């Protein structure tokens, strides 16, 4: 017949195991992660307006000036888009 001390050891191990396993079933949950949505700087979200086309009777100089202004507005938008790209790349960096 097993001794009294020998029969208590498996019971003690079973109770200790149960206590350790039930600690993993805690009702306390981890805090919900915070979602931070960075805002794109407003200066990068607005482009120069496209110039209105010249009148139908505009001369070559008027047409050339319109083309220059049109290209300037397009370059402004491309430049700002590039700024958004740089900003987004910085946000992806650790600590961005």
- pLDDT (0 to 100) of residue 8: 75
Query: Tens of pLDDT along 26-46?
Result: 667 888 888 877 888 888 889
Per-residue pLDDT 10s for the chain (96 aa) are 555 555 677 777 777 777 666 655 566 788 888 887 788 888 888 999 999 999 999 999 999 999 999 999 999 999 999 999 998 888 888 766
Q: What are phi and psi of 52, to 5 degrees?
A: -70, 145
CB–CB of 49/74 below 8 Å?
A: no
Domain boundaries, the chain: 4-25+40-92
Tokens read off for 9:
């050891």
């Amino acid at each position: 017949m097993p001794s009294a001390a020998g029969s208590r050891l498996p019971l003690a191990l079973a109770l200790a195991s149960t206590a350790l396993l039930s600690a993993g079933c805690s009702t306390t949950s981890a805090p919900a992660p915070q979602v931070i949505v960075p805002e794109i700087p407003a200066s990068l979200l607005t482009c120069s307006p496209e110039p209105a086309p010249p009148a139908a009777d505009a001369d070559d100089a008027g047409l050339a000036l319109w083309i220059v202004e049109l290209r300037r507005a397009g370059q402004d938008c491309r430049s700002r888009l590039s700024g958004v790209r740089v900003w987004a790349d910085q946000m992806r960096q650790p600590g961005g």
